[in-house]
Amino acid sequence: MNILSIDTTGFSSSIALVKNGSQVLFNRISSGFVPNKNWWDFPYLLPEYHQNFLMKNLRNINWKNVDAIAASANSGIYTCILVGLSMAKILADCYKKPLLEVDHILAHLYSTWLERSPNDLQFPILIFSASGSHSDFSLLKNKRECEIIYDTVPRQAKGEVKVFLGIGKIFYQMGKRLGVISSADSGVDKLMKAIAQGNAHKFDFTKYYRKPLLDLNFYDFMDSIDKFVKKGNVNINNVAASFQESINEILINKILKLAGMKKAGEIHIAGGISENKHLERKLREKIKKEKLPFILRYPVKKEYRLDNAAMIGCLAYYQQKYHIKFINFKPSITR
């Protein structure tokens, strides 16, 4: 079954063709980020960008090779979701194809299934998925049941828009407060360079974190570090490196403790956080050193780790095949 998939939930526009939930025939992605624009301007700027991207990339589709159309729905920036979903509905009606609606955040949970067979996975699977707009723990009990254990993400008012502050956004905001990142930067590349030049063990910020296991709100934690920096002259690179070391230590302890409590066979890391090589290395080292009984998996390619349409096609297929039941899930919508 070939599913043409569309994702326009945020800054990225993407279109993909996915066969039987795992084989990606193509996956095209483009970012609509514009330097030096305020965040609250993007819900009004991005829809036109998404529309132009889709119109360009839909011209050469061979519709005889498409069995269904899938589109992101629910979670994301509301004005952006409408572009992709409306386009998908028109195409489905025009070419007489079934329309499958998939939640963007849930699709991240299944991005590790791309180019893999679910028959090779050892359930239950604990998933830690996070990016700039979401942070959550989920448990795949089996192929047919997914429980959202924690998905509460703080919001910050930006003009008339309430912005989700996932862990990825915390790193971005920290970079801005340290003066490493400016509004012209779409990501945290400059922060990563500063971290590479710093001493990760200069400061221990874990002592400022006082949250229960099932809590992924790091906004107050960042405020504590911010106050520490303002006390006197400190090396910014050391602060940045120590911040990453501390937050990764906290995350690893949460992930491994929760995996043990849930008797997980595997741990999957998904979303933008899966691009954090430092976290991946430290997590693998601790599992190996302590001889923990967990298989650790990441999405097999970088393009599946960030926002993309391939994961939409993946979940759309398995939703139809297994009639997956999602427990405790609520969409996260920015209006």
For each of the chain's 335 residues, which pLDDT tens digit applies? Answer: 999 999 999 999 999 999 999 999 999 999 988 777 776 778 788 999 999 999 999 998 999 999 999 999 988 889 999 999 999 999 999 999 999 999 999 999 999 999 999 999 999 999 999 987 788 999 999 999 999 998 765 555 555 545 556 777 778 888 888 888 887 776 778 888 999 999 999 999 898 888 888 888 787 777 777 777 777 778 889 989 998 899 999 999 999 999 999 999 999 999 989 998 999 999 999 999 999 999 999 999 999 999 999 999 999 999 999 999 999 998 877 76
Single-letter amino acid, residue 163: V
Q: What distances in angstroms separate CA 143 from CA 35, 129, 227, 302, one per listed residue?
A: 42, 18, 46, 24
CB 201 within 8 A of CB 245: yes
What is the pairing mode between strands 135-142 and 125-130? antiparallel
Using DSSP's 3-state secondary structure scheme, residue 334 falls into: strand
**Tokens matching residue 100:** 């499958």
CA dihedral sign of residues 158, 161, 162, 163 = negative
Answer yes or no: same fold for 2-112+303-334 and 118-299: yes
Question: What is the CATH number that goes with domain 118-299?
Answer: 3.30.420.40
From residue 233, how far is each of 45, 179, 228, 236 by CA, in Å? 40, 14, 10, 9
Q: What local confidence, expressed as pLDDT, does residue 214 receive? A: 84
Q: Where do the structural domains in the chain lie, given as residue ranges? A: 2-112+303-334, 118-299
DSSP string, 3-55: EEEEE-SSSEEEEEEEETTTEEEEEEEEE---TT--GGGHHHHHHHHHHHHHH
Nearest by Cα to 175 from 141, 222, 136: 222
Report helix angle 167-177 to 189-196, nearest 10: 70
Q: DSSP states of 100-149 as a string?
A: EEEEHHHHHHTGGGTTS-GGG--SSEEEEEE-SS-EEEEEEEETTEEEEE
Residue 47 CB neighbours (<10 A): 20
Identify the DSSP state of 272: G
Q: What's the rounded Cα separation, in Å, for the pair 283 and 251?
A: 9
Start-to-end CA span in the chain (Å) = 34
Contact call for residues 43 and 36 (beta carbons, < 8 A): no
Q: Say how far apart CA 171 and CA 187 lie, in whole Å.
A: 9
Tokens of 319: 């939703």
Place of tokens 């741990």: 267
Tell me the pairing of strands 145-150 and 155-158: unpaired
CATH topology of domain 2-112+303-334: Nucleotidyltransferase; domain 5 (3.30.420)
The vertex-13 CA angle with 9 and 16, nearest 5°, equals 105
